[in-house]
């Protein structure tokens, strides 16, 4: 399997701050979990967000996200948050992400990122150093 098709996994513990008064994970907390996973996923290709901004003058921004909440996560759960490339365009990346508790899928998501120039926030090509790693 190519590195592009590899499913990146990040373990995440549910803390009190992630939940509502009943100990159920608040819906927006899943977005934060997935953001953390995408940040670490990017690091797995050798770049942090800070490096992209400083060295290449670009940043990836969320254009759209679609989340399907299937089951709730609870206080103290140990979760696995995944990230996997689905498609790479000129300036766009489509990712599939999940949040799981063991084998049980809790959230299924499609995320579309756009690579933009840091100075103008206009779309630019995905850096070749990343594109090369994301080839089939």
Catalytic hit among 18, 20, 76, 77: 20
CA distance 12 to 125: 32
Clarify whether 20 is annotated catalytic: yes
Using only C-alpha atoms, the chain has a radius of gyration, in whole angstroms, of: 16
Write the CB contacts of 76 (distance below 8 Å, at least 6 apart in sequence): 13, 14
CA quadruple 51, 52, 54, 56: dihedral sign = positive
Residues with catalytic function: 20
């Amino acid at each position: 399997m190519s590195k592009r098709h590899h499913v990146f996994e990040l373990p995440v513990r549910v803390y009190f701050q992630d939940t509502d008064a009943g100990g159920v994970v608040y819906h927006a907390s899943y977005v934060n979990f997935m953001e953390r996973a995408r940040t670490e996923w990017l690091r797995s290709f050798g770049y942090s967000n800070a490096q992209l901004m400083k060295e290449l003058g670009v940043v990836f921004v969320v254009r759209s996200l679609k989340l399907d909440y299937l089951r709730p996560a609870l206080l103290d759960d140990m979760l696995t948050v995944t990230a996997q490339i689905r498609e790479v365009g000129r300036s766009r990346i489509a990712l599939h992400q999940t949040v799981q508790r063991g084998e049980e899928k809790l959230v299924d998501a499609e995320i579309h990122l756009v690579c933009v120039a840091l100075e103008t926030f206009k779309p630019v090509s995905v850096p070749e150093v990343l594109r090369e790693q994301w080839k089939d």
